[in-house]
A = this chain, B = another copy of it.
Amino acid sequence: MTSFYEQAGAARLAALSLATLTRAEKDAALLAMAGLLECSEALVLAANAEDVSRGRAGGLDDALIDRLALTPARVQAMAQGLRDLARLDDPVGEVVRGWTLANGVRIQQVRVPIGVIGIIYEARPNVTADAAGICLKAGNAALLRGSSTALESNKAIVEILQAALLSAGVPEAGVQLVEGGHEVTDEMMRARGLVDLLIPRGGASLIQAVVTGSQVPVIETGTGNCHLFIDQSADVAMALTIAVNAKAQRPSVCNALETVLVERTIAAGVVPRLVDAMTQAGVRVHGDAAAMALDSRIDEAADWDDEHLSLDLRVAVVDGLDAAMAFIRAHGSGHSETIVTNDLARANRFTAGVDAACVLVNASSRFVDGGQFGFGAEIGISTQKMHARGPMALPEMTTTKYVVSGDGQVRE
> B-contacting residues of A (Cβ < 8 Å)?
16, 19-20, 99, 101, 105, 107, 109, 112, 114-115, 192, 196-197, 211-212, 215, 217, 219, 235, 238, 241-242, 245-246, 249, 329, 347, 351-353, 355-364, 366-368, 372-374, 384-387, 389-391, 399-411
A59 and B358 alpha carbons, distance in the complex (Å): 53
A268 → B minimal CB distance (Å): 23
Known contacts A99-B374, A211-B215; 15 additional CB pairs below 8 A are A105-B363, A217-B384, A217-B386, A219-B386, A245-B410, A245-B411, A359-B401, A359-B404, A360-B405, A360-B406, A361-B406, A367-B404, A367-B409, A368-B402, A386-B399
**Most B CB within 10 A of own CB, among A360, A387, A402:** A402
Q: Please pick, from B107, B242, B364, B408, the residue contacting A238 in the complex, using a CB distance under 8 A.
A: B408
A96 and B336 alpha carbons, distance in the complex (Å): 19
Q: Please pick, from B366, B374, B402, the residue contacting A357 in the complex, using a CB distance under 8 A.
A: B402
A235 and B409 alpha carbons, distance in the complex (Å): 13
What would be 17 A-B contacts, judged by CB atoms less than 8 Å apart? Answer: A19-B352, A20-B352, A99-B374, A107-B373, A109-B390, A192-B211, A217-B384, A347-B405, A358-B402, A359-B402, A360-B406, A367-B406, A367-B411, A373-B402, A389-B400, A390-B400, A390-B401
A374 → B minimal CB distance (Å): 7
A63 and B304 alpha carbons, distance in the complex (Å): 55
Q: Is the interface of A mostly helix, strand, loop or mixed?
A: mixed
Decide: A403 near B359, CB < 8 A? Known: A20-B352, A241-B408.
Answer: yes
Decide: A387 near B390, CB < 8 A? Known: A402-B357, A405-B360.
Answer: no
Give the residues in chain B near A217, CB-CB below 8 Å. Answer: 217, 384-386
A405 and B364 alpha carbons, distance in the complex (Å): 10
Give the residues in chain B near A101, CB-CB below 8 Å. Answer: 367, 372-374
Give the residues in chain B near A363, CB-CB below 8 Å. Answer: 105, 404-410
A17 → B minimal CB distance (Å): 10
User: In the complex the two chains form, is A405's CB within 8 Å of B361's CB?
Assistant: yes
A237 → B minimal CB distance (Å): 9
A92 → B minimal CB distance (Å): 10
Decide: A212 near B212, CB < 8 A? Known: A373-B107, A374-B101.
Answer: no
Give the residues in chain B near A355, CB-CB below 8 Å. Answer: 19, 112, 115, 401
